[in-house]
Structure 1
C-alpha cells in the first residue's frame, strides 16, 4: 500500500497542533530522526513503516489507521505494519512471497496453513536425531 505523503503530513501536523507538542519532542519520543518531517516535506524520505510508523502514531496519541487516512477504528493493513526485512536481504524471494501471502490470511486460515506446513515438513531435525 502506497501512502500519499501530503495527507499524511497534514494529519501529523494536525495532531501536533491539537496536542500542542513540538515536532522534535514527538519525533524524539518515537525514536525517529529529528529531520523526518522536513525530509518528508521535501520528498526526500520514504514514509515510515512497521515499528517506526507505530511509534509515531503512539507518540501522536492516535492510530496508524488514522495517520494513513483510513477509518480510525479500522485495522491498519498488514503491509504497513510489516518491517522491510526482505529489502534488507534477510529473506529469499520465495520466503518473502510466502510471508506476504501469509499476512493476508485471517487468523483461522493462518492456523490451518501452519498445521499443513508442519505436517509436510515433518519433525524438526533435532527431534529426528532423538528418534534414531
Structure 2
C-alpha cells in the first residue's frame, strides 16, 4: 500500500514519543534526574515498567504505521487515549504540568489528526 506523507509524519511522531517514554523510564529508574527547579532522582519500579512498556508499544506502533497496517489506525487511537490517561494520572497524583506537557499536546494532536476522514481513508477504515 502507498504511504501518504501524513502517515510518515505519524510514524516519526511515534518514534519521538517512544524516545520520550524511554527517557521517562530512565528517570524513574533513577538514572537521569528530573528537570525543573530541583534536579532530583526518584526510583519507582512500577512507573519505570509502565513507561518502558509504553516505549516498546510506541516502537511497535511506528513499525505498524510504516507498513500502513490496517489495524495501526485503531491501535494508535487506543494507545493515544491510554497515554493521555497515564498523563492525567501523573498530574492527579502529584506530578507537574511541566513533566507531561509535551506528551499531552502530542497525543491530543495525534488523536485529532487520526480522526480526519483522509487519514481514516488511508488506512481503509472508512
- Of structures 1 and 2, the one scoring higher in RCO (CA 8 A, sep 6+) is 2
TM-score (norm: length of structure 2): 0.33
* TM-score normalized by the length of structure 1: 0.32
Structure with higher Rg: it is 1
